[in-house]
Amino acid sequence: MSEVITSADFQTKVLEADKPVLVDFFATWCGPCKRLAPVLDEVASDMAGKACVYKVDIDQSPDLAASYRVSSVPTLILFEGGTIKNKTLGAVPKQQLMGMFA
């Protein structure tokens, strides 16, 4: 299962990470977010050791949602070296998520 992180963890777990990090900005009330969750778990398993996958609840960390201009959920952002490398919106298929790392 993908770990949910907060504003307190974001700097060290995402921006200072030594490998790519895929962040799912989600909400507990969001249907597409719930459908995407098992797909993200598969991606996290497939990418173990090569990349990290975390989730940010926009209701618990509205500052992060605002900082990264998350206006709809799910929003997925791939960070590398502390910068945004890729971004997609919506519940996308696994192949598209894996393609974000290419």
Q: Which amino acids are annotated catalytic?
A: 30, 33
Cα 56 from Cα 10, distance rounded (Å)? 9
User: How far is C-alpha 12 from the geometric centre of its chain's CA atoms?
Assistant: 15
38 upstream amide cis, omega within 30 of 0: no
In degrees and rounded to multiples of 5, residue 6 shows phi and psi of -120, 180
